[in-house]
Structure formats: structure tokens, C-alpha cells
């Protein structure tokens, strides 16, 4: 757990180092210390606010328990106490966020959404999930870029792959990998019984150039003419690209851009992310502790969430959370689910480290 005194000592030590003339001669060290100083400063301010609230809580408790005080004064103190306790809880959450934020790398991600069981209905729900993540990304000011898509005739996606860049993208959306199940009367039918369809989502960490280099000799590159629903992406040049990583058999096709060079660059980003995911998954299997702290397995075959339109509910099966605000969630209001998933993950981490 956090040690306030230890943090304050480190903060004072770094402040002293930053004020020395020698440190200015070493830009890298200065930048590293300045970043750490800023991080510690934010936590210390939160700890100071928490201590102030704790003193206020103690003072209000004395008023409430003092029978000599007027009833009206004690009632007011009771109301204020509830507000102060809520404030302390919020500060604890912010402190916890800062601590875990430091341990978790800021990574860009690639998300792959694919229609699974359910034909056209699954493809339409793939489009709904893409819209949901797009709205959530917009809300968090992340940059979204579509890397590859395979449209259907009536507005669905058999597959859509896109990248998200921005602070917190990985931390908030790493839990989305798995099977998303939708239960509704198909959009393609005017009425009838409820159908169940599924869509798979895979969240991949986009590797940095220094982390993963692919030997060009290990890639087979095929080009062909783009095609798409209604002729939207059709052109007369061989701009579409299919990359095959021969050692792993990983295949990626990109045809959204009219430029072969751009499609090739996007396909390479996706293929690197898939290879990186495979490497990380193999590494995780060797480390049982990592498996224990995961919320679910993260496998694409695991059913993680159900969207039931008749009951207007969304259920996350990993944490047994049900919310009756389906429309809002599909509009990108994902915070309630994601906060609970983060909380569950942190609880598991505390248990693993023997802190719970």
C-alpha cells in the first residue's frame, strides 16, 4: 500500500535535485525526474486533501456525539459528514488511479470487431459496437483510425479493424476482448421472435518499433483490386494488400485506402499487433500470477457480455453486473461498466499481493 511519508521524502529529494545546476546538463535525467516530480506532486496534493477531510470528519463526529449541542446543529453535522465521507471516497479512488496509472504503460491499441454467429444481424451489431467504441473514444479525446473494414450491403460490418491512440485507451478498453452476445428481434425483420447473434472483439496492444521488428523476408505480399458494397471502395488499380507472415501464418488484408502504400502500412501495423498479442499470451501462460489477476481470460472465445434489447439491459458476465441502460451504453456511456471491471482487477491484484 501507499506510504505517504516515503513519497514526501522522495518528492523533497527530487525537488532538491531539480534545483541543482548539474542536473540541467543532463536533459534525459532532468526530463525523467521532472516527470516523476509532477506525478508525486499530484499524489501528495490528493493526500493533503484527504488528511484535511479526515480532520473535518473527526470534528463533525465530535459534534454529532456531543449531547450538549443543539439537535439542529447535530443534524447539520450529520448531513455534512455524509458529504465529507463521499469526498474521502472520491479522493481514495483518485489516489488509487494515480498509483495504478504509474504501473500501467500508456499504450496505443488496435481493436478488431468481427461478425460471428448470426449472419447479417451479427454484421449489423458489429457496426453498433464500432459506433459504441467510436463515441467512447470521442468522449475521451482519443484518436481513432480505421485500418481495415469489410462492409455488408445494409450497413453492417463482417469485420472492422481500427486503432485508438490516447492516454488511457489501453487501461479502459483492455477488458473488451471476447464474445459480445446480442439478443433482439433482427433489424432485418419487421417482427417475430428474438434471435441471438454474436460478435467477437479482440483488443491488441500496438507494439512500438523497438519492441517488434519483422524480417521483410518473412512477409509475403499479395496485391489485388479493392471491392466493397455498392462499389464504394472499388477502383481499377491493384491497391488492396494482403500480408502473410510466413513463420506464424498470420494473414491481414487492407483495402480501405486507394493507395497501395497506405494499405500496406496499415496491414503491417495490424500484423505486428497480432504477433505481439500471441507473444504476450504465450508469456502470460508461463506466469500464473498474471492469469490470476485477469478479469476473465481475455480469450476471443469467452462470452463476456450480453446486450438484451427486449429488457433494455446489458450484463457483463465476468463481474455479474447488469445495467438497464442499453441505449446509453451503445451510445458510448461505458464508464459504469469499465470502472467496475477496473475495480475488480485491482481487487484481484491486491489479493495476489496479499494486501486485501
| pLDDT, tens digit (0-9, with 9 covering 90-100), for 256-293 | 788 888 888 888 888 888 888 877 776 655 544 444 44
Cα–Cα nearest to 339, from 184, 168, 199? 168
Helix (H, G, I), strand (E, B), or coil: what is residue 306? strand
Q: Which CATH class is domain 110-210+292-352?
A: alpha beta
| Predicted local distance difference test score (pLDDT) of residue 199 | 94
| Predicted local distance difference test score (pLDDT) of residue 200 | 93
DSSP 38-69: HHHHHHHHHHHHHHHHHHHHHHHHHHHH-TTS
Cα–Cα dist 219/243, whole Å: 7
For residues 128-149, average pLDDT: 94
Residue with cell 499530484: 42
At residue 6 the predicted structure's pLDDT band, cuts being 50, 70 and 90, is: confident
Asked if 277 and 204 touch (Cβ cutoff 8 Å), the reply is: yes
Residues 6+ apart with CB under 8 A from 101: 171
Cα–Cα dist 8/14, whole Å: 10
Query: Considering the chain, what is the average pLDDT of its residues?
Result: 83
Asked if 191 and 219 touch (Cβ cutoff 8 Å), the reply is: no
Sign of CA dihedral 296, 302, 305, 310: negative
Q: What is the dotted CATH code of the domain comprising 216-283?
A: 3.30.160.20
Cα–Cα nearest to 260, from 236, 229, 230? 236
Most confident of the ranges 65-74, 86-95, 135-144, 279-288: 135-144
Distances (CA, A) of 8 to 5, 156, 348: 5, 54, 28
| Predicted local distance difference test score (pLDDT) of residue 355 | 45
At residue 65 the predicted structure's pLDDT band, cuts being 50, 70 and 90, is: confident
At residue 188 the predicted structure's pLDDT band, cuts being 50, 70 and 90, is: low
Residue with cell 454529532: 64
| Predicted local distance difference test score (pLDDT) of residue 102 | 65
Asked if 356 and 347 touch (Cβ cutoff 8 Å), the reply is: yes
| pLDDT, tens digit (0-9, with 9 covering 90-100), for 76-85 | 989 999 999 9
In this predicted structure, which of 4-8, 144-148, 309-313 has the lowest mean pLDDT?
4-8
| pLDDT, tens digit (0-9, with 9 covering 90-100), for 219-268 | 888 887 766 544 444 455 667 888 888 888 888 888 878 888 888 888 88
In this predicted structure, which of 161-175, 201-215, 276-290 has the lowest mean pLDDT?
276-290
Is pLDDT of 22 > 90?
Answer: no
**Measured between alpha carbons, how far apart are the two ends of the chain, in Å?**
10
Pairing of strands 195-205, 109-115: antiparallel
Residues 6+ apart with CB under 8 A from 166: 108, 137, 140, 141, 142, 143
- Report helix, strand and coil shares of the chain as percent, to nearest 5: 50, 20, 30
At residue 113 the predicted structure's pLDDT band, cuts being 50, 70 and 90, is: very high
| Predicted local distance difference test score (pLDDT) of residue 209 | 63
In this predicted structure, which of 40-44, 275-279, 329-333 has the lowest mean pLDDT?
275-279
For residues 156-169, average pLDDT: 91
- By percentage, how much of the chain surpasses pLDDT 70? 85
The alpha carbon of residue 195 and the mean position of all alpha carbons in its chain are separated, in whole angstroms, by 29
Is pLDDT of 105 > 70?
Answer: no
| 39/337: higher pLDDT | 337
DSSP 238-289: --EEEEEETTTTEEEEE-SSS-HHHHHHHHHHHHHHHHHHHHHHHHHHH-HH
| Predicted local distance difference test score (pLDDT) of residue 206 | 82
**What cell was used for 343?**
475495480
Is pLDDT of 354 > 60?
Answer: no
| Predicted local distance difference test score (pLDDT) of residue 304 | 93
**What is the reported pTM?**
0.68
Amino acid at each position: 500500500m501507499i506510504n505517504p511519508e516515503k513519497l514526501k521524502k522522495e518528492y523533497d529529494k527530487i525537488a532538491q535535485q531539480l534545483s541543482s545546476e548539474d542536473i540541467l546538463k543532463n536533459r534525459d535525467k532532468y526530463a525523467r525526474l521532472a516527470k516523476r516530480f509532477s506525478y508525486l506532486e499530484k499524489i501528495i496534493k490528493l493526500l493533503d486533501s484527504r488528511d484535511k477531510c479526515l480532520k473535518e470528519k473527526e470534528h463533525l463526529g465530535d459534534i454529532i456525539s456531543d449531547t450538549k449541542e443543539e439537535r439542529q446543529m447535530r443534524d447539520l453535522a450529520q448531513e455534512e459528514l455524509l458529504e465529507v465521507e463521499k469526498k474521502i471516497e472520491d479522493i481514495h479512488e483518485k489516489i488509487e488511479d494515480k498509483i495504478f496509472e504509474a504501473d500501467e504503460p500508456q499504450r496505443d491499441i488496435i481493436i478488431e470487431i468481427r461478425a460471428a454467429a448470426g449472419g447479417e444481424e451479427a454484421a449489423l451489431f458489429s457496426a453498433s459496437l464500432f459506433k459504441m467504441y467510436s463515441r467512447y473514444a470521442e468522449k475521451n479525446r482519443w484518436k481513432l483510425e480505421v485500418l481495415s473494414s469489410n462492409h455488408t450491403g445494409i450497413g453492417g460490418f463482417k469485420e472492422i479493424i481500427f486503432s485508438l491512440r490516447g492516454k488511457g485507451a489501453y487501461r479502459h478498453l483492455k477488458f473488451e476482448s471476447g464474445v459480445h452476445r446480442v439478443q433482439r428481434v433482427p433489424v432485418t425483420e419487421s417482427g417475430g421472435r428474438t434471435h441471438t447473434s454474436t460478435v467477437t472483439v479482440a483488443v491488441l496492444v500496438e507494439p512500438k518499433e523497438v519492441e517488434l521488428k519483422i524480417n521483410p523476408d518473412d512477409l509475403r505480399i499479395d496485391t489485388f483490386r479493392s471491392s466493397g458494397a455498392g462499389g464504394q471502395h472499388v477502383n481499377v488499380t491493384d491497391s488492396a494488400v494482403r500480408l502473410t507472415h510466413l513463420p506464424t501464418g498470420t494473414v491481414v488484408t487492407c483495402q480501405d485506402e486507394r493507395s497501395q502504400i497506405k494499405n500496406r502500412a496499415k496491414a503491417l501495423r495490424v500484423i505486428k499487433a497480432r504477433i505481439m498479442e500471441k507473444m504476450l499470451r504465450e508469456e502470460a501462460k508461463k506466469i500464473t500470477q498474471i492469469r490470476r489477476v485477469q478479469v476473465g481470460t481475455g480469450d476471443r472465445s469467452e462470452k463476456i457480455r450480453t446486450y438484451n434489447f427486449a429488457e433494455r439491459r446489458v450484463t457483463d458476465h465476468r463481474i455479474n453486473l447488469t445495467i438497464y441502460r442499453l441505449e446509453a451504453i451503445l451510445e458510448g456511456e461505458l464508464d459504469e461498466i469499465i470502472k467496475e471491471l477496473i475495480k475488480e482487477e485491482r481487487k484481484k491484484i491486491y489479493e495476489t499481493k496479499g494486501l486485501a
